[in-house]
Structure 1
Amino acid sequence: MGKGFIKVQLFSAKNVMPVSGGNIFIIESAAIEFEDGKILTTDECGISKVVTVNTPDRSVGENPASKDVPYSSYDIYIRAKGYRDVAIEGIHIFPDIISIQNVEMIPTKKERVFMEEAEFTFIPPHKLLELTQRNRIEGIKIGSGGCVPLVIPEYVTVHLGAPNSYAENVTLDFLDYIKNVASSEIYPTWPVEAIRANVYAEISFVLNRIQTEWYKNKGYAFDVTNCSAYDQEFVRGRNIYDNISRIVDEVFNECIESKEGKGPILASSCNGISESGSGLSKWGTVVMANNGCDALEILKKYFGDDIRLEKISDVYGLDEQYSGDELKVGSNGKMVEGIQKKLNKISENFTAINKIDIITGEFNNDTYKAVKTFQEIFNIASTGVVNRVTWYKISLIYNNTKKLLDFIEDDEEHNIGVSPEYLLRYGDSGAAVREFQRYLRVVSQYYSVIPQLDVNGEFDLNTKAAVLAFQKKFNNIDVDGIVGKQTWDKIYEVYCDLK
């Protein structure tokens, strides 16, 4: 018998609003007695204390021949005043590992009976336990060629099914996508170099998909699917693991590149037991790591001696890029000043982050404490030093915070809410289109399945995609991409409920 650990974090509006005072009930999925569960409450940063639970022995997850499941399954039920209830069932908890369950909370003004109209998520068995084949992976294997600069995308849009299936798309930031994939495809109890090799392959795979626009060139409105027959396993709403999270933070801006072409390779993989094929063998990485091989040696075995790990300097969507120099006590200048201003804005929601009273551009003790607390909240190594991943995360949370505030302030001036007496569809333009775009833009900040759109008064393809996604999510209305009275009223109802 082993022991694992669970930490729950409740956020809203793309992680910019912590949900404090949330009540969390955790119970083993197979438990019979209700009294066996544990009750937690979130603090002012939306974070629960870490709770210890029973798991299988660690050795189970280190043996590919084992028929036993190497993790315990737990269910989490959440209630917080002013938010919809949430149920997440089947969470995988491994021995000796802290499992981090980030939960996207949806605001509501409606009073409900417990678990009435709850946001429900079921986590399927781990991918390594399944027997499905990765037999439909196609793409450009050596990157896109040419001289297109490599850039880390701000977001990844994932189709929750096979490419041509009728399924939702979900948009999340690049780091969260990689952490989800790695937690879904490998065991966190594996050796560090095996985990690192798999993370490099997963980063390279999705960057290849995005840079070559593999799906968008086929007319799809997403970057990648979560169907492992075609792409990589992704489980919406699943937990991630603290050690995998830290490794992703360390290497998220590196990809596997071949000398044959400029760009990330399509680093395909198989589990190496029930699956076979070209690319990286996941269980094979464990054997090599246990034999003393590092991540690059492992990758060269599967992808050839001519590969290299290429560092990517820029992240798309940031107003200022990381210079490459760590910011710490004693640093000074415009970059420090920018971080101080962003942390002060973020601290308006996350009150545990101390306010930096005087913005001087000097990395003083107040700045050190603010950075350290930010890192603790967002599960980054708590050093008080601004490295690449801390810079990226501060910038992302700041951008989302400012964007949400700007949207709400803008909407206060244009809030009418009355639907027009005619249909709005692709190709239309005008004030009515602009108005429902404003409502839908705010809704997209809380529902990751609804893509963000520009408020331009033009019913363009992005607007149609957002309308279709909204109609799919709220499936009591026709899914046709047309905004009639029923769709308009529902958009406005959801918008008002969120505010």
Structure 2
Amino acid sequence: MTGEPFIPENIVVHLGAPDDPSAMNVTVPFTDYIKNVASSEIYPTWPESALRANIYAIITYALNRYYTEWYPSRGYDFDITNDTRYDQYYVHGRDIFEPISNIVDEIFNNYLRREGTIEPMFAAYCDGVRTYCQGLKQWETVELANQGMTPYEILRYFYGDDIEIVTNAPVAPNIPSYPGEVIGFGSAGDDVVRIQTQLNRISQNYPAIPKIPYVTGSYDTLTQDAVRTFQQVFGLPQTGSVDKSTWYRINQIYTGIKQLGELTSEGVTISDYTADVPEFMGPGQSGANVRVVQYILSVIGAYYDAVPRITITGTYDDATANAVRAFQQIYGLPRTGIVDADTWEELYRAYKGIADSVPVNPEGEEIVLFPGMILREGMQNEYVRTLQQYLTEIHTAYPQIPAVSDTGYFGPLTRNAVTAFQRVFGIAPTGYVGAETWSRIGEIYSEVKYGYVKPAGQFPGYTIR
């Protein structure tokens, strides 16, 4: 559960109740699993709109279990069961219905979420005849489809008007969230951001656990104290470091508190699992967080004529404060010129909306926008391919930064190239790519390829008012 969800290549299914040790585990391609469940739970003769609505729910339910690591965080070695008391009905080795197979092939990497959140929602469903639930009723979808409702209208009927369909989610290899080594004092990076974010939310329900003032991605003494107290509260060895058992226990408590496995989920917001700005950011401050805010503002300024364009300097100057005030006015926030939690949330949301709407075109002269999600080892998408192409171009001027093949897969070679770039240009060598690293890579790529730094943002030919 780190950042934007992806579609796993495979899913591990336990053929029995969670606590049945005699039941076997089977590893199944994700698309085959969805086809199997859909063929076991619904009828291929149903109207297409009903089939699609049900398959969206089936995909989303499975992704919720996978994304929250529902079973691994409880000590199990599988992702989901086939026991309908807990999960979906999967019949290993059964035949698949062709109409269902065709739909799954088309929409397997689409899923449902609540507006303003990033996790696949807990898309509860039941047949609506023999069993009843608060979510989608499978047989009722047939009636609604016969009335002319579209799949999206059917889904909104059951889940509410605040749902949206995420399309073309990236597919990535199955990599457990636990990084494979103990994280402790002196560690830095995306995994530390996750630990700090989750512990801060847990501390709201367990006040004995001290709040970490800033989510910086650096494992300091405050993080160590919070981890040690968490371990004390939940009966774990009080080491102050995060091993595998502590990692998954934190995940389990966090998932439970936020109700990520319920229809009433609190949700994971779009700025979760990114290094936070401090409690506030204002004039006179400088550093990596300021660069990130300026990068986001510069992109927004290319699309909103009311937000003045600024230069990315790393120093919170008057121009930055004025751009923040203009943005705050547009979004109905107090015009303080200071980036507080509410302003940061809206900035990131506005930026992500722009990034999602701009095509990825690494061959064009304009610099591709940061995707709004951290790029890290194990991911595979067009943004990774763009990153690799940029790094290879930079290699021609900075040979100490390795060239990498543009496969689109973020493997060890890409991580090494990213780390080398970060060391050369004075960025914390985390090996993953957040907004700061992407911004600097774009600047250096532009300078190497074109002889000057192109400003962040791509003017679309119109402004958003």
TM-score normalized by the length of structure 2: 0.37
Whose strand fraction is larger, Structure 1's or Structure 2's?
1
TM-score normalized by the length of structure 1: 0.34
